[in-house]
Structure 1
Amino acid sequence: MIAALIRFSLIQRLMLLLVAAAVVAGGLWAFRTLPIDAFPDISPPQVQVIVKAPGLAPTEVESRITFPIEMEMQGIPNQKILRSTTKYALSNIVIDFNDGTDIYWARQQVSERLTQAREALPKGAEVVLAPISTPLSDIYMYRVKGEGYTNSELRTLQDWTIRLRLRTVDGVADVNSLGGFVRAFEVLPDPRQLAAQGLSIDDLERAIERNNRNAGGDRINRQNSMLLVRTLGQLRDADDIRRITVVTRSGAPVRVSDVASVREGSLVRYGGVTADGQGDVVTGLVLLRVGANSRMVVEAVKQEFTRLAPTLPKGVTIEPYYDRTDLINAAVLTVEKALGEAVVLVVLVLIVLLGNLRAALTVALILPLSVLFTFILMKLFGVTANLMSLGGLAIAIGILVDAAVVVVENVHTQLAHAPKGVSRLHLVYRAVTEVATPVLSGILIIAIVFLPLFSLTGLEGRMFAPLALTIVFALLGSLLLSLTVIPVLASFLMRGRAHGEDRVLAAIKRVYLPAMRWALAHRQTAVGGALVALVLAAALFPFIGKEFMPVMDEGQTVVNLEKASDISLEASLAIDAPIQKAVLEIPEVTGMICRSGADELRLDPMGFYQTDCFLQTKPREEWGYGLETLHDKLRAKLEPFKKNEVEHGFSQPIDMRVSEMLSGVRADVAIKLFGDDFAVLEEKAGQIEEIVKRTPGASDVFRARLSGQGYLTVDIKSEQLARYGLNNEDVNDVVETAVGGKVVTEVIEGNRRFGVLLRYPEPARTAPADIERLLIKTVGGAMVPLGMVARVTEVDGPVLIQRESARRYVATRTNVEGRDVVSFVEELKAAIEREVKLPQGYYIDYGGQFENQQRAAARLGLVVPVSVALIFFMLFSTFRSVRQAGLILLNIPFALIGGVVSLFISGLYLSVPASVGFITLFGVAVLNGVVMVAYFNQLREAGRTVLQAVQEGAERRLRPVLMTALIASLGLVPMLLATGPGSELQRPLAVVVIGGLFTSTLLTLVLLPTLYAWLETRAEHRKNRNGDKS
């Protein structure tokens, strides 16, 4: 079949050239139209349930909302994990599904379960599904500015003009509004006037609700025409509300204006945004729909802003403060630059080591053709061009030419020694068919090496699957093109003239050949030296730290602030101003936008005590120092605020969301203590926090406070209620409306809707005594003070309740600096087990990077040996010898020497990218072994003795082995030296491969011939002895 393919290619040379041209054209088109992003979509299929429960305390929300919904969600197929966060007036339930689950199917399942759960929820609870987005959907953040406009006016513009326009952009899941004041009409009853008129707040609520409606009376026929009938009673402004009649007594109406003041104000706020020490601002956040391309969507959003700008009120502008495309462009540029430099280096090596410009050009053409072929397959399979997929191409660059080198080398040999009368096409055909099988075997072996990457699950699986796919695509393209297009190009470009040996190779041989002969003569010393090196590398390995993934510099810093757990929103926002002014004293910081509390959509259930501050800075090249120095300067500015109970930590937009997605906590490591009793959880978590703080490497340590929130509890007296003919709902309604506030209806202005908020004025609802004076109307019309039927007390209670798999937990979080995550957690675990005694039923779970590192290591530990076994069977099927297959596999442990040593010297940790580097190393090391052993066998079949075959074969295969190693190494040098965003993920891989190939190549050229000569000579002697005996 392969021979037929090669024959067809050489017969139809013009057609193959047209196919090559089509690959070029198709590849260029695919590259221009490929979706581009910074990362693959690393979010699991996730459905988020948001329940707004105005006025309810966390314990009430947990028992009446969170728990019933969790019970309904359990048992949904393909469910991976169920988490919930319960806070004041909010329940946020997140259901992660197994990879591959259709998001729309998952949402349908959750929706069906919610239909049943709604029946058990309290009146007034608003249940919604979050938009079809992911935790990483925050792609564009902007601020709405306008000189002379109030924050209420700007928020109205954001909600009813800007947001609605942006939601029409394809790929936008939703637009979140944050900051400012949501315009509303406030009705503030006067308790004295209500009492004087014998009215309750419920009377006022019913009157407003019933006097805000238009109605239709169908139509009236009039001869040949008709009239549509309608009544106009809808509220249009504050005056209409004031004129509403609440009750009529003796023909005299009692209007709303008689018992309450009406004004334009705002709804109750659950979050706010401040900027640059200047107070409240209005911002928007564009959310990416699942499956959409962030770069294209952001560009479309910017275009929509351009069209929108002329229609905005004079003086209103929109200023972005976070743009995901900045990171995307920088990350893709990093890998594209490394890719381009790698191609140049590889071509130079080809020219130097092949010593023939035509041959080098023929081989070099495989690079652009294979890359463009890969772009076509990426387009067909929906793989985005991102840091990982393009990184896979950069890794493959050094391997792509291997097949073409073997083909071109053999073609050149055949042409140089061709007998007269044999056609050029026949010689090319014979040369290519001779090496087609080993070329195919070599490519398959390398492809098998990358199979473990497809077995990874979770975040690491979603991150590295595109890398493995592009490598396999590139190898497939290289194989097909080397057996079809390269022979055609060789038939046109290459001549039969022999070329002399180049000086570089000659110089290398002058060193190599004596060294190889010495090793053959001193086998035990050579093997012993290699074993010593292997033992030393093994001794170094425990001193190499382990982590899940290196932290990527996204180019933007987020300062995370944690304040006193019972702080009010107004106080929280007030503290932000001096913090911002202090930080802006750092010359490199040009802006700081801080968000406290929950957003409009409640996608991020932050409390008033939690604040995320986005820093805007000058370009990095103007700093004169690195990111760690900036963090040190920020710490110096933030340290004085600890006296105000303000703790701080640092993160980045994507890193923050990834950590939260993995463990529900925004940090490298989450120590979760599970249990039921709040007091026990609080006590034991406090002990854990102290241990974490004193563990070397801990940074930005914070423990979620369960208690510390003051509660004003209205304890209803059932017997007193019965005496007055009242029930619990009567009390609840009065407290909910008078104290918490209730939107009783809406005023419609064109397409805009503004709530009518009924609530007592603040002086009448602040102290417990005020609450006790609230009047409840009995069935008989009597007014009863709430204090007569309930006891009002102040108690302490939880501010936050977190649950995972329907169990409460409290999390202590920490970042890790100056050491690896795994050793940090292992030391921490030992200290906690030694010092913290947990009651029965309580347990600790370690989440975040540590959990993912352990999962990835366990999976690779299982799959890599299976992959090595597959390689062994491939080698055995190729050489029909267990001895020779085992000999080639010996390259793998010796290749580890350089990888381990290079990791140790560089100070990098063993991470998933480093593990990918070792996997790549296995493939190249095995391939070099195949090249050597196959040629040794070929020479022996031609009549050479074992020693002759080894010496001659090692000399003749020096060039291809060096080329394979040098090209693979130099192809990764640009990744090693890159400094842009994303280089942190590529560097460990490059370090491992380059270091490993150095020792692997050295041992392949020296140790493998020595071991081959020893083993094959012993085998021959044993065979001869057996022959003599017979």
Structure 2
Amino acid sequence: MKLVNTSVKRPVGVIMIVLAIIALGVISLRSLAVDLFPKIDLPIAVIATSYDDAAPQEVENLISRPIENAISSVEGVDTIQSQSQSGSSLVVMMFNNGVDLDQALLDVRERVDQVKGFLPQNAAEPNIMRFNPEQMPVMWVSITGKDASALTQIAEDQVVPYFERQGGVASVTVEGAKTREIQLILDEAKMQQYGLNPQAITQALNSQNQSSSVGTVERGDKDLQLRVTGTFDSIDDIGKTIIQTQNGATIHVEDVVEVHDTYKESNGLTLVNGSESIVLSIMKKTDGNTVDVASNIKDAMSELNGQLSEDVDLGVVIDTSEFIEMSIDSVVKNILLGGIMSLIILLLFLKSIRATIVIGASIPIAIISTFTLMYFTGETLNILTLGGLALGLGMMVDSSIVILENIYSYRQRGYSLKESAIKGASELTPAVIASTTTTLVVFLPIVFVQGIASDLFTPLALAVAFSLIASLVVALTLVPMLSSKLLSKAMENHGRRYWFNNLLERIGSGYARILKWTLKHRKTTVAATIITIVGSLALTPLIGAEFMPEADQGQMEISVETATGTSLSHTEDIVEKVNDRLTDYEDYIETNYVSVGSSGAMGPMGGGGGNQASYMIQLIPASDRDKTTTDIVQEIDQRLQGIPGAEITVSASDAGMGMGDPIQIQLNGPEHEVLSDLAEEVVSEIQAVNGVYNPTTAASEGVPQMNIEINNEKAAMYGLTQDQILGQISLQFTGQLATQYREEGHEMDVTLLYPEDQRSTISDLQDLKVTTPTGAVIPLEEVSDFQEMQGPVSLLRQNQQPQMNITSDVVDRDLASVVSDIEDRLASMSIPENYSYSLGGQAEDMTESFTDLALALVFSIFLVYAVMAIQFENFLFPFIIMFSLPATVVGVMGGLFVTGLPLSIPGFIGIIMLAGIVVNNSIVLVDYINILRRRGMDRFEAIIEAGKSRLRPILMTTLTTILAMIPLGLALGEGAEMQQPLAVTIIFGLSVSSIFTLVLIPVVYTLFDDLTGKIVRRKKKEA
């Protein structure tokens, strides 16, 4: 009352406060970060270790397993997964929700420090880091020109440092670069002639390529620093390095080696739109904003292009911010369109531009206030928070409508404008606060929801809550003040009939007749309602379910894999064939970026071997093409399957959330070999399931390897150890770093290598000469046996047990139905004893999220009932009102079925929000029935009169909410698919529930009233 009174009597103060809020909101809006999705906080830690040239088996036994054992007892660990592949180990720790990850990482570091002393001597230091799903490049930039080596130098000296100085940029990675290297090609014959070995050359190079301080001397009153300088000044100095032979002779390094100033052997190739290029991948900081970072990089590119030579060009390959900007723009347009539609409804009902302005003013002020609150709570502008604003758009005017209508009713009784504003607003303030509270409390159970569902739900809930709170304050302050100044002539008929009022009167008369019939046929009405609800539930199997709706982001990936061990040149030939077949889709493709071999680092694990190629393709915007990304993916997949000699997989990529594979089947058991065979069986079994697309497993992969089994007994006879033999084999086939050479601020490796024709065949391995400690030379086969076999590409473990994963995409069918069929297939398989399977990926996330959201829904319903019980100070009336909730099922199921959408997290969130929205109409109706009965009106007449008089505000509030959501429900624009299920559930659920509210609630009211009367009469008789 005091707030309303003050706002009416001090209009200047209210206007100044509103202007201040608008100014603050505009500033906040400019400062708000923009992203595609809310930040997803995953309590995951990663331990990465490299172990050069080690096979997966050695990596697993010597690195992965000791680390697993050390960290298995860390408090809060839910799952430990490890991936051991050639030369590297990756251990992933997933913690329970709510764990303090900072403290957990300290515990992990302590455990790893305890065990790292037992790791192999040449294994790298374990790198422990927090996993962030946003740790993917936000942008790829190409550098094209004639000379790849010159481009590499330009990239490292000019472009990368400049990019890394831009705001929000964390790091820049160079892909496809040529690394300069000084190669010393050993001449074995001359080395034997002089009695030298590679270790002697390495020792000579290191001893003559060093500088150090050796003390100080006094000179007058100053100390002079003594420094011996002996680093190489030129490449000629490397060749002139002096070596002392065992016979005491002095020779130079160039006498036994050939010095080559060249580049490291390339095991990959990077192509952009068919041309060889260097590609820079830009990572943003954890608190950086994708759109801002991309904008800063584009500005930097413009500046650099003007500074670089004409034959060097910087170009954008992939820019993830483009889809974000298009998605945000489409949501904003949908909000504006929904707002216009709501204002049109207001104008129709209020038949006054001034009255429409009074109520419509609450929309922009509430939205701007919401931006301010979002800024101070650290939220970002994304498609879900903006979707929440679109949802709250129609509800923002509800409180203002109720207040304005009551003010107008006082005005019709003859009160002055100021008195009407004060009395009308003050009288309904408690009811409006209670109604808004009922909608807000459905968001409180978010504290019980964890994981991805919480990360997605919370920002949306906050956006809706902020907008409703802001609109409530506006309804209690600004609306009464504006009403007292602007509505002197508003809503006056001047003796004319208004066509829309005539329409409403006809609708009201028809509704009164229906209501009278239902009150006379109560059992039929209740039975028909129950049958309708049960019938709608029968649609559940036809609707299905999925984790999150797929947005047409226009990005796709092509994975090309030739036979394991295939040379890089052969893989390049396959890539050429793929490129030829992609020319038919040039009109759809904006950028074609392919990494052949291991030159690129498109993912967290980097590139593969020479037998692999990875495409990243950016399509033109969805609005500019007549096919969806899924359609194009399936067409290209069919065209590429005809290429012989390679396994080619085409899939749409998710550039936003990175939610993983839809289907992931995890096989666990004691033996890797058995798991591989079992995985092959599972793949062949699930291929027949409708909707399963491109099921893959690592079981079929294998690296051809030559096992060298050293005979320790024979080796000991020659005075050799296994380490000595391994060192000489490694030198022969991979080379050895001798020293570093610095030139113009650049450091490059000086590497000892044998000629290529001595390290390329099996016979070279068998003929390899091993030098004994006595100087004798023996062939390797003298002390070892050779066995050729297939080795695994990588070995997986989960919770310290071997694991094999099968992954699959899902097309043309909902995820839940596919999972159900896969589970049936797996249940019919004969799984060996001690082996098991489980489902992961999006299927697991969907089950967990739905369970959490179902719990939140139950608590929301309880809280709504509690708020109404407090409002009415009665337990019965809230129970009557709650009967509007079951009817919501009819609208939700019917809406999803009609639109062909499966139930997903946004849809489930819509159901929770409906629990707080649909009861508002029932509150208005039941409350007015009670008011009329207290005035002495008969129950039947009170129900009919309440229905007719409350039909107008119910239609008004319902239509504004529904029409504001229609643009989102139609999925207009880029990225709108994410909010479509939410909008559809609200639109259909509220529409159908409003109809049932107007018809069913009066019937339920009479039934409970009769029951209460019988109980009261019985107690009187007993008394």
TM-score using structure 1 length: 0.93
CA spacing shift, 1:387–1:868, aligned 2, 3 Å: same
Shift of 1:598: 4.8
Deviates more, 1:460-469 or 1:504-513: 504-513
Mean Cα deviation higher: 455-464 or 473-482: 455-464
* Residue in structure 2 matching 1:338, options 328, 334, 340: 334
Task: Provide the rounded CA distance (Å) in 2 between the counterparts of 1:9 and 1:459.
Answer: 43
Structure 1 counterpart of 2:629: 627
Which stretch has the larger CA shift, 76-85 or 855-864?
76-85
**Residue 163 of structure 2 corresponds to residue 166 of structure 1:** yes
Cα 1:944–1:860 shift into 2, 3 Å: same
- Give 2:356's aligned amino acid: A
3-state secondary structure, aligned to 1:385: coil
Match of 1:663?
none
Identify if the C-alpha distance between structure 1 residues 560 and 499 changes in structure 2 by more than 3 Å, giving closer, same or farther. farther
Cα distance, 1:579 vs structure 2: 1.3
1:399-437 deviation digits (Å, cap 9, x = unpaired): 111111111111111122135xxx644442222222111
Select the residue among 413, 417, 429 that pairs with 1:417: 413
The residue matched to 1:979 in structure 2 has which SS? coil
Q: Deviations over 1:500-526 (max 9, x none)?
A: 572342232232222222222222222
Q: Which residue number corresponds to residue 742 of structure 2? A: 748
Q: In structure 2, what is the equivalent of residue 262 of structure 1?
A: 259
Counterpart contact for 1:85–1:605, Cα < 8 Å: no
In 2, are the aligned partners of 1:208 and 1:244 still within 8 Å (CA)?
Answer: yes
User: Is contact 2:679–2:699 with CA below 8 Å preserved after alignment?
Assistant: no
Q: How many Å separate the matches in 2 of 1:242 and 1:548?
A: 64
For 2:356, the equivalent position in structure 1 comes to 360
With 108-117 and 579-588 compared, the bigger mean Cα shift is at 108-117
Please report how far the alpha carbon of residue 881 of structure 1 lies from its aligned counterpart in structure 2 after TM superposition: 3.1
After the TM superposition, which residues 711-790 of structure 1 pair with which residues of structure 2 at under 5 Å, given as runs? 711-790=705-784
Question: 611-620 or 524-533, which moves further after superposition?
Answer: 611-620
The question of whether the paired residues in 2 share the 8 Å contact of 1:416 and 1:497 is answered with: no
- Quick check: 1:172–1:286 contact (8 Å CA) kept in 2? yes
Q: CA deviation at 1:355?
A: 2.9
Correspondence for 1:204 among 196, 201, 206: 201
Q: Which moved more, 1:98-107 or 1:83-92?
A: 98-107
Q: How does 1:489-638 map to 2 (within 5 A)?
A: 489-495=482-488, 499=492, 502-588=501-587, 589-598=589-598, 603-608=604-609, 609-638=611-640
Please list the CA deviations of residues 531-587 of structure 1 after superposition, one character each: whole Å capped at 9, or x if unmatched: 221121122223211111111111222223344344345543443232123212323
Contact in 1 for aligned 2:600/2:607 (Cα 8 Å): no
Provide the residue aligned with 1:291 in structure 2.
Answer: 287
Residues 276 and 83 (structure 1 numbering): CA distance in 2 closer, same or farther, change over 3 Å?
A: same
Q: 853, 856, 864: which one pairs with 2:857? A: 864
1:116 equivalenced with 2:114 (yes/no): yes
The alpha-carbon distance between structure 1 residues 18 and 81, as it changes in their structure 2 partners (threshold 3 A), is farther
Please state how far the C-alpha of 1:803 moved relative to its aligned partner: 2.4
What is the distance in 2 between the residues matched to 1:247 and 1:658? 59
For residues 117 and 596 of structure 1, the distance between their equivalents in structure 2, rounded to whole angstroms, comes to 37
Deviation at 1:298, TM superposition (A): 1.7
Question: Do residues 35 (structure 1) and 28 (structure 2) align?
Answer: no
Q: 2:869 aligns with which of 836, 853, 876?
A: 876
Partner of 2:376: 380
Residue 812 of structure 2 corresponds to: 818
Change (3 A) 1:811 1:1021: closer
Give 3-state SS (helix, strand or coil) of 2:797's partner: strand
Amino acid at match of 2:67: I
Which SS does the other structure have where 2:704 is aligned?
Answer: strand
Counterparts of 2:151 and 2:870 in 1: how far apart (Å)? 73
Compared with structure 1, are the counterparts of its residues 80 and 387 closer, same or farther at alpha carbon in structure 2 (3 Å cutoff)?
farther
Alpha-carbon shift at residue 329 of structure 1 (Å)? 0.5
Cα distance in 2 between the residues matched to 1:634 and 1:414: 69
Structure 1 residues 941-960: aligned runs within 5 Å: 941-960=934-953
Match of 2:464 in 1: 471
Shift of 1:777: 3.3
Distance of 2:309 and 2:88 partners within structure 1 = 35
Asked if structure 1 preserves the Cα contact closer than 8 Å seen for 2:351 and 2:491, the reply is no
Q: Which moved more, 1:669-678 or 1:378-387?
A: 669-678
Identify which range, 70-79 or 386-395, moves more after superposition: 70-79
Relative distance call for 1:401 and 1:599 in structure 2 (3 A) is: farther
Change (3 A) 1:159 1:113: farther
Deviation at 1:910, TM superposition (A): 0.8
* Cα shift at 1:776: 3.4
Structure 2 distance, partners of 1:409, 1:59, is 77
Secondary structure, counterpart of 2:738 in structure 1: strand
Distance 1:299 1:227 in 2: 52
* 1:747 partner letter: Y
Distance 2:590 2:381 in 1: 32
Q: CA deviation at 1:343?
A: 0.9
Three-state SS of the structure 2 residue aligned to 1:694 is coil
CA 1:595–1:315 in 2, change beyond 3 Å: closer, same or farther?
Answer: same
Q: Would the alpha carbon gap of residues 401 and 618 (structure 1) be closer, same or farther in structure 2, given more than 3 Å must change?
A: closer
In the alignment, is the contact (CA less than 8 A) between 2:558 and 2:648 conserved in 1?
Answer: no
8 Å contact from structure 2 (residues 417, 483) kept in 1: no
Counterpart CA distance in 2 for 1:570 and 1:123 is: 35
Tell me how far apart the structure 2 counterparts of residues 220 and 1018 of structure 1 sit (CA, whole Å).
109
* SS of 2:585 mapped into structure 1: coil
**How much has 1:613 moved relative to structure 2?**
0.7
- Of 385-394 and 159-168, the range deviating more from structure 2: 159-168
* CA apart distance, 1:965: 1.3
Deviation at 1:497, TM superposition (A): 6.8
SS of 2:967's equivalent in the other structure is: helix
Q: Deviations over 1:153-207 (max 9, x none)?
A: 3234333432233223332222122223322122221233323332222223323
Q: Distance in 1 between matches of 2:115 and 2:170?
A: 26
Which moved further from structure 2: 341-350 or 485-494? 485-494
Counterpart for residue 922 of structure 1:
915
More divergent stretch after superposition (591-600 vs 866-875): 591-600
Shift in alpha-carbon separation, 1:206–1:712, aligned structure 2, 3 A? farther
Q: Which letter does structure 2 place at the counterpart of 1:547? A: E
- Cα separation, 1, equivalents of 2:352 and 2:395: 20
- Hey, what does 1:647 align to over in structure 2? 648
Give the structure 2 partner of residue 177 of structure 1: 174
Question: Which of these residues, 396, 400, 404, is aligned with residue 400 of structure 2?
Answer: 404
**Match of residue 895 from structure 1:** 888
Deviations 1:236-256 (A, max 9, x none): 443222222333365642332
Query: Offset at 1:707?
Result: 5.2
1:189 corresponds to which of 186, 189, 192: 186
Q: Percent identity?
A: 26
Q: Give 1:346 deviation, angstroms.
A: 0.9
C-alpha distance in 1 between matches for 2:1014 and 2:352: 43
Q: Decide which moves more: 563-572 or 679-688.
A: 563-572
Is the alpha carbon distance of 1:1028 and 1:418 closer, same or farther for their aligned partners in structure 2, counting shifts above 3 Å?
A: farther
Provide the aligned length of Structure 1 versus Structure 2: 1014
**CA contact 1:565–1:705 (8 Å) conserved in 2:** no
The aligned amino acid for 2:690 is P
Following superposition, the deviation at residue 1025 of structure 1 comes to 6.2
Superposition deviation, residue 226 in structure 1: 5.8
Separation of aligned partners in 2, 1:957 and 1:192? 104
Paired amino acid for 1:703? T
CA distance in structure 2 between the aligned counterparts of 1:195 and 1:251, rounded to whole angstroms: 15
SS where residue 979 of structure 2 aligns? helix
Q: Distance in 1 between matches of 2:998 and 2:840?
A: 46
The change in CA–CA distance for 1:315 and 1:52 in structure 2 (over 3 A counts) is farther
Aligned to 1:53: 51
CA distance in 1, matches of 2:869, 2:469: 23
1:497 to 1:474, Cα distance in 2 relative to 1, 3 A: closer
Pair 849,477 (structure 1): closer, same or farther in 2 beyond 3 Å: same
| Residue of 236, 239, 243 corresponding to 1:239 | 236
State the 1:606 CA deviation: 4.3
**Residue deviations 1:413-464, cap 9 Å, x none?**
1122135xxx644442222222111111111111122334454322232122
Change in CA separation of 1:274 and 1:131 when aligned onto 2, cut-off 3 Å: farther
